[in-house]
Amino acid sequence: MQLIQQLGWSQAVELLKTASDDHCLAQRLAQRCSSLTGQKICLDPTKKARVLWLGLSRGHALLKQAVEWDQPCIGRQQQPNQLDGVRGSLWRYVMAFSGWERAARSVIWDGTQQTWFRQSSLACLYDHFSTLAPPWPNREQVPANLKQWLASSVDEQHPLPVFLALGDGQADFVPWLLGESHQLHPWAVLACLRNVVAHGALSPTKAQQWGLAPVYDDGVLVLQTLFRRLLAATVGSVEVIHG
């Protein structure tokens, strides 16, 4: 979507605050959300504007905190070790993803209860620059402590997808991790990275051993880029004001 002039966050905030009391402005915001997601939104546009204000403002706050969390560290308050830094990187990413999810859900919201986060509705926001590279370019360079999880055990009780608690449609996270061909969309990679931490499957030790810590740091920047694109496509343009 080609935008002639984009608004800054402070200008977007003022726009969002007034939209719920301005039916024409709220309608333009709803139309832009519909155009972005390809979904027909049949609800009061002022309700949509209120949801946008809550989702984008809360999402922005979480993402801002994550991006500004310099040298994240969770654990020892004095003399933190490397694992404390890895733990901080993992949970900084979870914070950033929560911000992105709040913002994206508000754009996708169509007035119904959403059980699943339909990131595919925002596929147009993704490109090469918002696609995370795996930690390893191929299986040959995967460290030994990760390779041991790839070999099937005799009783097959601990395959890697089960260990990582990957859900339906997420099994291709393992080929992505190994730098192999996969069918996982960029948004699914971002979600998997969040889930394996938030669900307690990926420990800081494993993340460090498997070379995933830098991926989580890069992921925060990718989520920030996606938020900026989302804001520009829905709110951050003079086209919204002037119609």
Quick one: tokens of 171?
């099994």
DSSP state of 121: G
- The pLDDT, as a whole number, for residue 117 is 64
Which band of pLDDT confidence, cut at 50, 70 and 90, is reported for residue 243? Answer: very low
Predicted confidence (pLDDT) at residue 154 exceeds the cutoff of 70: no
User: Hey, where are the domains in the chain?
Assistant: 9-242
1-46 pLDDT per residue, tens: 233 345 578 778 888 888 888 888 888 888 888 888 887 777 888 9
0.75 cut: is pTM over it? yes
Quick one: tokens of 98?
């929560």
Q: How far is CA 208 from the centre of its chain?
A: 21
CB atoms within 10 A of CB 140: 9
Return the higher-pLDDT residue of 13 and 63: 63
120-152 pLDDT per residue, tens: 778 889 888 888 999 988 888 988 888 877 765
